[in-house]
Amino acid sequence: MNTYGDKFRVTTYGESHGPAVGAVIDGCPAGVAIDMQAIDAALARRRTGAPRQEEDSIEWLSGLNDGITIGTPIAFCIRNHEARPDDYAQLQHLFRPGHADYTYYMKYGLRDHRGGGRASARETVARVVAGTIARQLMPEVEIVANAQWPTECPDDDTVGGTVNCRITGVPAGIGTPLFDKLNAMLAAAMMSIPSAIGFEMGAGFAAAGMRGSEYIDRWNPDGTTRTNHCGGIQGGISNGMPIEFRVAFHPVVSMARPVECLHEDGHIETVVIGGRHDHCAVRRAPVIVESMAALCLANYLL
Amino acid sequence: MNTYGDKFRVTTYGESHGPAVGAVIDGCPAGVAIDMQAIDAALARRRTGAPRQEEDSIEWLSGLNDGITIGTPIAFCIRNHEARPDDYAQLQHLFRPGHADYTYYMKYGLRDHRGGGRASARETVARVVAGTIARQLMPEVEIVANAQWPTECPDDDTVGGTVNCRITGVPAGIGTPLFDKLNAMLAAAMMSIPSAIGFEMGAGFAAAGMRGSEYIDRWNPDGTTRTNHCGGIQGGISNGMPIEFRVAFHPVVSMARPVECLHEDGHIETVVIGGRHDHCAVRRAPVIVESMAALCLANYLL
Amino acid sequence: MNTYGDKFRVTTYGESHGPAVGAVIDGCPAGVAIDMQAIDAALARRRTGAPRQEEDSIEWLSGLNDGITIGTPIAFCIRNHEARPDDYAQLQHLFRPGHADYTYYMKYGLRDHRGGGRASARETVARVVAGTIARQLMPEVEIVANAQWPTECPDDDTVGGTVNCRITGVPAGIGTPLFDKLNAMLAAAMMSIPSAIGFEMGAGFAAAGMRGSEYIDRWNPDGTTRTNHCGGIQGGISNGMPIEFRVAFHPVVSMARPVECLHEDGHIETVVIGGRHDHCAVRRAPVIVESMAALCLANYLL
Amino acid sequence: MNTYGDKFRVTTYGESHGPAVGAVIDGCPAGVAIDMQAIDAALARRRTGAPRQEEDSIEWLSGLNDGITIGTPIAFCIRNHEARPDDYAQLQHLFRPGHADYTYYMKYGLRDHRGGGRASARETVARVVAGTIARQLMPEVEIVANAQWPTECPDDDTVGGTVNCRITGVPAGIGTPLFDKLNAMLAAAMMSIPSAIGFEMGAGFAAAGMRGSEYIDRWNPDGTTRTNHCGGIQGGISNGMPIEFRVAFHPVVSMARPVECLHEDGHIETVVIGGRHDHCAVRRAPVIVESMAALCLANYLL
């Protein structure tokens, strides 16, 4: 379904090339003044270097009175001024490689060939707005993510990369021990971001090659530890150290060079796909990673 | 909470050194003959090389009539014959490094120092029973996991490792596009296993270093692909290829050599911790990975 | 929270005197042509005799392509053109009797004194739109409700009444046996309608005075029964007979005559409350009862 | 499903004539000493005048250490010593009138003809144990229910009745405004009790015949009201007055006199049904009403 969270619950809507995208946020406490400039700044980060440059002007439909929350659901929408469904006309009967065209078709029996419907980076705009509101409700928590990526790449190809995230200000004792471990919920939040393909806490995959004596984070007398191989979570619960994780993103699967598409009638067709392409989407991922981390934590901390 | 799943819902209970562990399974269809030998075999795999060798004899409390499901909740319990709470007396005021002792204490304000309470490998026995039942409900799905790990290690130290999992028989079109993407749900399921510290689909972290032209899985005319870098899921939905992922496990944090514990009064104390230790828990992880994968898929396929 | 349902999930938003009311509908199957005239007709029934006559013009934000569902969330909003927050200025420090002013204040520590915020009949407009869509997805089900109410009443007073509802076309076997019995879910749906104060299935409270030999619905050989005292549900599951229930509504608590309000400083103040009043809201209840019944059933039948 | 609640979550299991009934309680805070005598007393109330007199001896499987909660799930089972499946042999191909035999069969395609499976009063034993634990977690809340019923009845017939319930100690401000109104959740909880057929808050169905001027509860300066026609809840949220409601129960549908059953092959057969019958089950309903009220409130107050 299109809802994230339990206590702080975000329901998103909107197709990439439909009239609007947006969300309803349920569970936001009353009496909080929302910093609209912070939301605009986050949306600007999300547009960094994007081929589709939209204004992202937010229309608030409910939940605010003079910019202050009143405890009722916060609804907003952002119009899709830059929708160009015609760019996609050539794809009406083709499945692009690496895209969700085929899997959506197999699930729904139809597809919105115009820009991928919900399976589009456009959908993350609602996550960023909601996540930035969540951050404002937890001012003691600081979430900082940054991206690495291969810097050399031909014009008609694309690159992936990784995003490191470090969260401070989460007290010890946050999380649950069994299935909804804090690390498990962070993993799900991150893997729900388009193009995410890997997740690791702290030492991550490298820990699989360590010995226990090397891996164990040694205590300081104040309850902090000298290293942070576990990434700040033990047994599914925060230990008060920074929460650290890394997310791998595969390269953008839309590119300017010719690609082999599968036609619905079963033959393969090499086409150059129109529309706006982007070399390196991972540049825009940090603010999305931070937003999803905030949405995840809000369910524990509010 | 202690419940996994939505349509096929498993609620587990039981502390490592309490009277019993078990679960209630809700959502199992009526009329299925449960293969008890398969469950015993799965439990035997879970005990492979374990220092605590319990009989794991299952007592069925409800939901079955002559071994056939009747559509009501299936409840079972397994007695903890081998509980040795005295082994843990020395730890009453100590927080072991790398364990959940400290985080549980910070969350609950108390701790069950006897074997970690719920934060114990013992808890996974209920996951294996429930997961093995789930597999029997989806005979068309085959789930195979296997482990790699460093083979050289001193007697008083421990190793981690990785588990590869490959699932065949899941048709294209399974999953959801947004927050509950099939890959996100698998990530959460795997990261909820004790000691899991990383998760990746298909090419995983290596994909972050690939170019798009290299990463894209090229079509065969029948809708399969020549490579499977995406791991069988696109846009959160299965594409009919094998679902492939890898889980990293950190080394066991209990070991026979002296470790530095944090005392509740704030000093550090080096102790040799009694109880039964295990070099390499990742040997037992494959059946748990398979079981959690089955529990995850059952929510989509039943 | 502001979400109803599980498989067919409706999240509503909007305050009575804010910019808009609306909802996001998740779980609607793809490929259904929505009958917009039926929605307008339902909204017109909801306005019958209402003192606040709004145009109720629906803006569709997502989920539709040329009026046909595409499987993504359906979002809509309806602007509040007739909002008159000034009517409520006199109530800034008063708690009206019989209203939710006081309980909201005790819960949220503030209140949106302008028209009751979410605790307003205005909120039901989103239920009617969503419920009418739900009905179109279950064309085999017919839901008909009608109201009874005292017809004589002074101009400055109000009346309550009851609404009978009869649902045909639900096959036997729908519902669940324990906590989420179909009758329990219908009861919750109905009691969530503003002013609902009682609910009964079939013979209802009268059944408490019957003998068993009188109450039991006798079989016809085809599995129908000669009477329908149970209201079409046994053990929480439909039996194929019409589902019949009755909802009691208390009188409108806003009236044109002077009422005693509680001032925040603890004195009682007799005031004539401005704003638009209504003699008999129960006239408009049937379409809301039908809509909530449809939302309830959609979770079982879709 | 077989789970009630969200924060305080009870998952019940067990068939009437299977090996055991029981539940897993998730969300119980740590450090609470459970009053076992109060549980036994509640179970004794549940047996009042019942034809099936079981010992109801509880076996605690997890969650307690020396009778004190440790924050982990509390699991328990109660063996069914008095199971007499043979009493039901005559019913193998018959659907009793008024029972859930037919609806279960239509839902599951099979039935556990031995005592109704889950559709049996036996299932309420788990509700009473869990509800009595819930009450102990909210010592400030007092819940008192009592039953009325027709006292004259032939030996071979049965009667229904009503149960009034009055809850004090719930502060103002408890509940939610929209779909999960406190009155709606109480209605669902009560209507989920076997044989419940009606529910009303405060003045209930009688309020439908009142005028507004008569119905409105007039303020005292301290925020209490002179009457309590609304039953202590306004706009879905408690107002600090006693919460008062009434539940109607239809007569027991098992009786000693001959009844007409429907045979699976479509003919009607008059039989005298063996097994243990009970004139007046509503005598035992108050402790079940109190238990369900406690389970409902625990989700708001814990």
The predicted pLDDT at position C85 comes to 60
The predicted pLDDT at position A132 comes to 98
pLDDT single digits (tens) D17-28: 889 999 999 999
CA distance C168 to chain A (A): 30
Does B92 fall in a domain?
yes
pLDDT single digits (tens) D46-90: 988 777 666 789 999 999 999 999 889 999 999 988 666 666 677
Interhelix angle C36-47/C124-137, rounded to 10 degrees, is 140
CA distance B22 to chain A (A): 14
The predicted pLDDT at position D119 comes to 67
How far from each other are the two terminal CA atoms of chain B, in whole angstroms? 23
pLDDT single digits (tens) D144-173: 999 999 888 888 899 999 999 999 999 999
Mean pLDDT of D192-204: 97
Nearest to D106 by CA among A194, C121, C241, B302: C241
Question: Between B98, B207, B282, which is nearest A216 by CB?
Answer: B98
CA–CA separation, A45 and A9 (whole Å): 24
Say yes or no to pLDDT of C51 above 90: no
Nearest CA in chain D to B6: D1
Tell me if D203 and C197 make a contact (CB, 8 A cut-off).
Answer: yes
CA–CA separation, D190 and D207 (whole Å): 20
pLDDT single digits (tens) B254-299: 888 999 999 999 999 999 987 767 788 899 999 999 999 999 999 9
Helices (H), A12-95: 36-47
Using pLDDT thresholds of 50, 70 and 90, give the confidence band for residue D91.
confident
Q: Cα Rg for chain A, rounded, in angstroms? A: 21
The predicted pLDDT at position B112 comes to 61
The predicted pLDDT at position A115 comes to 42
Using pLDDT thresholds of 50, 70 and 90, give the confidence band for residue C121.
confident
**Chain D residues 33-52 with CB within 8 Å of chain C:** none
CA distance A193 to chain B (A): 8
Give residue for tokens 């005592």: D115
Tell me if A14 and C60 make a contact (CB, 8 A cut-off).
Answer: no
Provide the 3-class DSSP secondary structure of residue C176.
coil
CA–CA separation, C289 and C192 (whole Å): 10
Tell me, yes or no, if C9 comes closer than 8 A to chain A by beta carbon: yes
Tell me, yes or no, if C81 comes closer than 8 A to chain D by beta carbon: no
Tell me, yes or no, if D195 comes closer than 8 A to chain C by beta carbon: no
A135, containing H or E segment:
helix A124-137
B40, containing H or E segment:
helix B36-47
Task: Return the percentage of chain D with pLDDT > 90, whole number.
Answer: 74
Please count the structural domains in chain C: 1
- Per DSSP, B279 falls in state S
Mean pLDDT of B186-203: 98
Say yes or no to pLDDT of D115 above 50: no
CA–CA separation, A24 and C118 (whole Å): 15
Show the domain range for B164.
87-301
The predicted pLDDT at position B140 comes to 97
**Chain C residues 103-132 with CB within 8 Å of chain A:** 108-110, 112, 117-118
Using pLDDT thresholds of 50, 70 and 90, give the confidence band for residue A74.
very high
Nearest to B25 by CA among B118, B121, B127: B127
Residues A297, A299, B2, B8: is their CA dihedral positive or negative? negative
Per-residue tokens: A39: 């939301």
Q: How many A×B Cβ pairs under 8 Å?
A: 346
ipTM of the complex model: 0.96
Chain B hits for A190, CB-CB cut-off 8 Å, are 187
Question: Between B3, B74, B118, which is nearest D72 by CB?
Answer: B118
Mean pLDDT of B216-242: 97
Say yes or no to pLDDT of B158 above 70: yes
CA distance B66 to chain A (A): 31
Chain D hits for C181, CB-CB cut-off 8 Å, are 191-192
Question: Between B3, B204, B212, which is nearest A179 by CB?
Answer: B3
Name the more confident of A49 and D82.
A49
The predicted pLDDT at position B16 comes to 84
Tell me, yes or no, if B1 comes closer than 8 A to chain D by beta carbon: yes
Using pLDDT thresholds of 50, 70 and 90, give the confidence band for residue B86.
low
The predicted pLDDT at position B87 comes to 63
Per-residue tokens: C40: 């307008």
CA–CA separation, D10 and D24 (whole Å): 6
Chain B hits for A239, CB-CB cut-off 8 Å, are 102-103, 106
CA–CA separation, D253 and A196 (whole Å): 58
Q: Using an 8 Å Cβ cutoff, are B172 and B194 in contact?
A: no
CA distance D247 to chain B (A): 27
CA C240, distance to chain mean position in Å, is 24
Say yes or no to pLDDT of D259 above 90: yes
Q: Which of B3, B7, B9, B11 to mutate to test the interface with D (most CBs of D within 10 A)?
A: B11
pLDDT single digits (tens) A94-151: 999 999 989 988 888 776 654 456 767 788 999 999 999 999 999 999 999 999 998 8
Mean pLDDT of A28-56: 88
CA–CA separation, B243 and B239 (whole Å): 9
Q: Which of C153-162, D196-205, D262-271 has the highest mean pLDDT?
A: D196-205
The predicted pLDDT at position B273 comes to 83
Chain C hits for A60, CB-CB cut-off 8 Å, are 19
Task: Return the percentage of chain A with pLDDT > 90, whole number.
Answer: 74
Question: Between D20, D63, D110, which is nearest B61 by CB?
Answer: D20
Say yes or no to pLDDT of D290 above 90: yes
- Could you tell me which chains touch chain C, where touching means 3 or more CB pairs under 8 A? A, D
Question: Between B211, B229, B248, which is nearest A207 by CB?
Answer: B248
Say yes or no to pLDDT of B110 above 80: no
Question: Between D13, D65, D110, which is nearest B24 by CB?
Answer: D13
Query: What would the DSSP string read from start to end of D165-220?
Result: EEEE-PPTT-B-SSTT-HHHHHHHHHHTSTTEEEEEETTGGGGGGSBHHHHS-PBP
Per-residue tokens: C25: 């509908």
Burial C249-260 (b: 16+ CB within 10 A, else e): bbbbbbbbeebe
Question: Between C12, C13, C26, which is nearest A3 by CB?
Answer: C26
pLDDT single digits (tens) B35-75: 999 999 999 999 887 776 667 899 999 999 999 998 899 99
Q: How many C×D Cβ pairs under 8 Å?
A: 344
Q: Using an 8 Å Cβ cutoff, are A228 and B98 in contact?
A: no
The predicted pLDDT at position B115 comes to 42
Q: CATH number, domain at A215?
A: 3.60.150.10
Mean pLDDT of D98-103: 90
Say yes or no to pLDDT of B84 above 70: no
Chain D hits for B108, CB-CB cut-off 8 Å, are 30, 70-71
Tell me if D110 and B2 make a contact (CB, 8 A cut-off).
Answer: no
The predicted pLDDT at position C111 comes to 67
Using pLDDT thresholds of 50, 70 and 90, give the confidence band for residue D256.
confident
The predicted pLDDT at position B104 comes to 87
Q: Could you tell me what percentage of chain D is helix, strand and coil, using 3-state DSSP and rounding each to the nearest 5?
A: 30, 25, 45
Say yes or no to pLDDT of A86 above 80: no
Say yes or no to pLDDT of A39 above 70: yes
Quote the mean pLDDT of chain C: 91
Tell me if B103 and A233 make a contact (CB, 8 A cut-off).
Answer: yes
Chain A hits for B255, CB-CB cut-off 8 Å, are 212-213
Q: Which of B76-85, C239-248, D59-68 has the highest mean pLDDT?
A: C239-248
Chain A hits for C73, CB-CB cut-off 8 Å, are 2, 11-14
Helices (H), chain D: 36-47, 101-108, 124-137, 182-191, 212-215, 285-301
CA-CA-CA-CA dihedral for D127, D133, D136, D140, to nearest 10: -40
The predicted pLDDT at position A111 comes to 67
Tell me if A2 and C62 make a contact (CB, 8 A cut-off).
Answer: no
pLDDT single digits (tens) B170-185: 999 999 989 999 999 9
Quote the mean pLDDT of chain A: 91
The predicted pLDDT at position D70 comes to 87
Nearest CA in chain C to D282: C208
Threshold 0.90, pTM exceeds: yes
Helices (H), A115-270: 124-137, 182-191, 212-215
Mean pLDDT of C14-26: 93
Question: Between B190, B223, B235, which is nearest A104 by CB?
Answer: B235
Mean pLDDT of A279-285: 91
Tell me if A175 and B199 make a contact (CB, 8 A cut-off).
Answer: no
pLDDT single digits (tens) C191-204: 999 999 999 999 99
The predicted pLDDT at position D198 comes to 98
Using pLDDT thresholds of 50, 70 and 90, give the confidence band for residue C24.
very high
Q: Residue D243 — φ and ψ, nearest 5°?
A: -85, 120
Point out the least confidently predicted range of A73-77, A275-279, C130-134, D221-225. A275-279
Say yes or no to pLDDT of C67 above 90: yes
Nearest to B46 by CA among B64, D63, B77, B38: B38
